[in-house]
Amino acid sequence: MRHSSRRRLLPGIVFVMVALACNKGGDSPQTPLCDDPLSRGDYVEPACHPSQDTVACRRVARRGGEFDGIVIARLDGTGVSELLPGMMAPAWDQSGQRLAVCSSRGKLAVYDLHLERLDLIPIGGSNWYPSWSPSGQHLAYSCTAPVESCGVWTVDLTDLAQHQVIAIPMVATTPAWSPLGDEIAFAGNEDPESDVWIVRLDGSNLRKVTSGSIAKRPMWSADGTRIVYSGRRGSHYAMFVVEVGQGGRSWKVPGSDAYCLSMGQSGSWARDGVQIVYNKECLWLTRMDGGGNHPILCRG
């Protein structure tokens, strides 16, 4: 059983941003090459800035000595900056001044871009995929250990009080806080296949909004009317959009099929609410109707 605690965040760990020249290649093939996957790095887990044409994502090293961690780039693929080594799953707050991240050991942290300071969040367990509340005071996250505490939780960054939203036996991961602040979307399953679910903060009004797509990594649009997620239908993943509300129309984003992914697929809405950044080996930018689909960050 977890108990609310009132400890301060640990002293900041300062990282200096290092600007890199962008090594942007030409157009990549629509179906990524799958040979020798360990020789290439991937850009994964994109998170678009709420008010700028900028994306944070994780760069995964495939060779010894390469940078592995959070990078930031413009949506045209320029201005790539290495930011937080060893961190993953970035999420912007509404102000665009802070990034929530987690380490490869499941420890949550908040990075302040203005102060260039990383504050660890001293709570127990193995915690992953943070998502900000609209107020910027809370984080939602998924816990995978200890087993009795698995599920979706929230933490108050003021006093570190924790609240369990979804508990076992449902397997619940990758929460995404609604921009309206009253609900959380997450990937969960009651059977072998996962779907996107939505629940109120008190655990009530639990409902499923997708079906039969093995859904992962839901992300809300800024107006709270749509969710983009990665889904598998058949032998490979692609990006899907579902409308939240009566009817629940959903569709696959044309051209987003990923045929060989070692790190999984996810997407994030650009600030215009129409374009989506997603990964399939490279990082790609597309409209939700599939128009203008093109790579923005690639590594050979």
Average pLDDT, the chain: 85
pLDDT band at 260 (very low <50, low <70, confident <90, very high): low
Nearest to 283 by CA among 98, 32, 85, 111: 32
Q: What is the spatial distance between Cα 241 and Cα 159, in angstroms, rounded to a whole number?
A: 36
* 87-115 b/e (C-beta count within 10 Å ≥ 16 → b): bbbbbbbeeeebbbbbbeebbbbbbebee
Between 170 and 79, name the one with better pLDDT: 79
The reported pTM is: 0.85
- Res 171: pLDDT: 87
Percent of the chain beyond pLDDT 70? Answer: 83
**What is each CA distance from 199 to 16, 145, 188, in whole angstroms?**
39, 22, 11
Mean pLDDT, residues 265-271 taken together? 96
- Res 300: pLDDT: 57
| Per-residue model confidence as pLDDT tens digits over 47-69 | 999 999 999 999 988 778 889 99
Domains of the chain by residue range: 13-297
- Return left, alpha or beta for 39; rule: phi > 0 is left, psi -120 to 50 is alpha, else beta: alpha
Mean pLDDT, residues 78-107 taken together? 97
- Res 29: pLDDT: 36
Q: Tell whether the model's pLDDT for residue 144 goes beyond 70.
A: yes
Q: Tell whether the model's pLDDT for residue 27 goes beyond 50.
A: no
Q: Tell whether the model's pLDDT for residue 204 goes beyond 90.
A: yes
Of the given ranges (26-35, 36-45, 209-218), which has the lowest mean pLDDT?
A: 26-35
- Res 67: pLDDT: 92
CATH fold of the domain at 13-297: Neuraminidase (2.120.10)
Q: Tell whether the model's pLDDT for residue 157 goes beyond 60.
A: yes
